[in-house]
Amino acid sequence: MEVMSVSKARSRLYELHRQIVCDHDQVILTHKNGNMVLISMDEWESYKETMRLLNDKKALKALVQSFEDHDAGRSVGKSLEEVFSDMTIYCPPV
């Protein structure tokens, strides 16, 4: 994770886009009025979904149960390739 000023980030925006979207990195931007973090849209959506699940008691209970079932050998999960088979991210050539 890289840390830089908002001014420096402004001059490196295209490069940062590639770093964040293609390399799944995060960048902390500092400013005297407050700091922020640049993340990819996919990561942001993932955070939002996680927060939704953590705030939904029924969904959270089902999630915990699924982990317990998996750990106890009562269920078989999918491979990473099966789970992410439909995901593609366009990364322009350098």
Q: What is the pLDDT of residues 8-34, one digit of tens each?
A: 999 999 999 999 998 889 999 999 999
Q: Is the domain of 24 the same as that of 45?
A: no
Report DSSP state, residue 27. Answer: E
* Composition of the chain by helix, strand, coil, percent to 5: 50, 10, 35
Q: Are residues 14 and 27 in the same domain?
A: yes
- Rounded-to-integer distance, Cα 41 and Cα 21, Å: 8
For residues 30 and 59, membership in a common domain is answered with no
Report which of 27, 37, 24, 38 is spatially closest to residue 87, judged by C-alpha positions: 24
Condensed to tens digits (0 to 9), the pLDDT of residues 23-80 reads 889 999 999 999 999 999 999 999 999 898 889 999 889 889 988 988 888 887 777 7
Residue 8 lies in a domain: yes
Is pTM beyond 0.95? Reply is: no
pLDDT number for residue 74: 86
Q: Nearest to residue 5, comparing CAs of 25, 35, 26?
A: 35
CA distance 49 to 56: 11
Q: Report d(CA 43, CA 22) in Å as an integer.
A: 12
Q: Which domain holds residue 1?
A: 1-39
Are 7 and 25 members of one domain? yes
Q: Is residue 28 part of a domain?
A: yes
- Asked if residue 35 and residue 45 are part of one domain, the reply reads no
Whether 83 has a pLDDT exceeding 90, the answer reads no
Shared-domain flag, residues 8 and 29: yes
